[in-house]
Structure 1
């Protein structure tokens, strides 16, 4: 049992954050034991081939059979919009004694894959995490983040409508709050009580915990809880489109045109609509060549957006009100 003791000032300082590094580290649970995370099985299966050539020895050293991960992989987010690059930069500068201490807290020792000179071991770990991100998260992060952000919005609305206590008691069945103490029933057999004492409590939604998770050590108060809406994350999206437009363009292209009132990449659209990357690119190119979409490069991605002609065609196909 973990108990966070909050006074009146602490209650006012409860906040939310989203951490890409936290999500990346906790995802090792689903890779390590996919049967524990049925909602993320589609993600595990989709990314299996791209994970084949990763540094598995280094990644396996970051999790044990209890599904514990070292606290340095669970940084307290500085804001709801924390950037992975910033978190990885901080991880590269991790002090050697903290690196070793957090690994020992999980494994009882420093695993062989991360033994040796600390700076070299930290560099290997960060490189392995970067490769895991590129292989398994980069194509899907925009949609994952949307689920996490939607959860934060929902919890904020709960606080406004029902109060902080109702929100905290609704996080998960293993968390309860009596107005002074937040009790978290963990698989950790230790009994711990930690006063917040003005440092604030950060709540972090994640897709890779089933109950609730917290730092292994006595780090900054933070609670990771299962985000809402995960069940629909990997379902193919169905966007309503006018039958007349579908008759001309085909159902998939009509749905893409209807959905592209906001810019999106081909990778994101492929995930949303359950279409292979090559197929969705063919559809997008055809719509763009017809003048129905515009495209622009944003970083490493090409974003597509419905053009004025495409909007006019869509509006003309809608039934008159």
Structure 2
């Protein structure tokens, strides 16, 4: 069923991109319990393995029905483009118990047996305690499942935002939506998100819209957030097919002989734009070594760079793309 967002002129001026480590955390929790989502993320699942098995995520899963309402308060839209997990989880802990109770009740009503379950009854009886319990579980999930991989995930998400920001400047909002997903349609100042749960319509009323790429939302496009939260559209980030591929698995031997193994690995690791520290973490190299390799590759015309937020992102030029695409 479709999700309709009705814009006026002021809303178009308030469209922004954002990243949310908290969103990725709760979607990682959901992905763990959704086998249909595992395809791209099997390497990640193997890595978190036993550590994730030690978490009791049942209370969170109880509020994540396959079809139906999911609580907004456990992952509110981020206030800025570079919000930290600590900032976001502090916002969850500050949720008003009455707001949380309404959210929890709506989610339990859409979960088979949710309202009759012991865990569901406990949450409804003491929503203030439930907020803290759910925040504790999200914090544990962050530390075990997402934080160790956050530099890699953040690089992919930032690259997506950089790409789509550039596309917005080049082609405008309507065509950008089509680039993001075929599930997004624009007509008569209304954005329709097809294939979402339920049939929902919301007038933005000057609040604007948050566009948020997600690694773990694949393959869904999610239109969400009831008032008082700002409306948002969450969509699968570009490049997740190669997210968990190790650079050494994709560096052609001929290119390694030409440039040297480490420098070739740096070039091939830039399937999506990334910064120096992210590449160093991904390749297990010193930041100083990666910085030197990036400078040489840029001087040779194989890379370009631009500033995004707190860091400089590097990406391959057409020549760099052609060299990295050679068969191993």
> What TM-score, normalized by structure 1, do the two folds share?
0.75
- Note the 1:208-219 alignment, pairs <5 A: 208-209=216-217, 210-215=219-224, 217-218=226-227, 219=229
Match of 2:82 in 1: 81
Structure 1: which 5+ runs fail to align?
274-279, 285-292, 294-303
In 2, are the aligned partners of 1:26 and 1:69 still within 8 Å (CA)?
no
What is the alpha-carbon distance in structure 1 between the residues aligned to residue 35 and residue 70 of structure 2? 16
Match of 1:199 in 2: 207
Deviations for 1:41-86, whole angstroms, at most 9, x for unmatched residues? 3222221211011122233233123375311123122111011101
What is the alpha-carbon distance in structure 2 between the residues aligned to residue 214 and residue 245 of structure 1? 45
What is the alpha-carbon distance in structure 2 between the residues aligned to residue 72 and residue 150 of structure 1? 27
Shift of 1:255: 5.0
In 2, are the aligned partners of 1:37 and 1:208 still within 8 Å (CA)?
no
What is the alpha-carbon distance in structure 2 between the residues aligned to residue 168 and residue 244 of structure 1? 41
What is the alpha-carbon distance in structure 2 between the residues aligned to residue 217 and residue 265 of structure 1? 38
Judged with a 3 Å threshold, the aligned counterparts in structure 2 of structure 1 residues 265 and 7 are, in CA distance, closer, same or farther, namely closer
Structure 2: which 5+ runs fail to align?
110-114, 270-274, 301-328
Q: Does 1:136 align with 2:150?
A: no
> What TM-score, normalized by structure 2, do the two folds share?
0.73
Moved more, 95-104 or 231-240: 231-240
Judged with a 3 Å threshold, the aligned counterparts in structure 2 of structure 1 residues 177 and 144 are, in CA distance, closer, same or farther, namely same
In 2, are the aligned partners of 1:74 and 1:215 still within 8 Å (CA)?
no
Shift of 1:6: 0.8
Shift of 1:38: 1.7
Q: Does 1:243 align with 2:242?
A: no
In 2, are the aligned partners of 1:96 and 1:118 still within 8 Å (CA)?
yes
Judged with a 3 Å threshold, the aligned counterparts in structure 2 of structure 1 residues 232 and 265 are, in CA distance, closer, same or farther, namely closer
Match of 2:231 in 1: 221
Choose 1 or 2 for highest CA Rg.
1
What is the alpha-carbon distance in structure 1 between the residues aligned to residue 42 and residue 290 of structure 2? 37
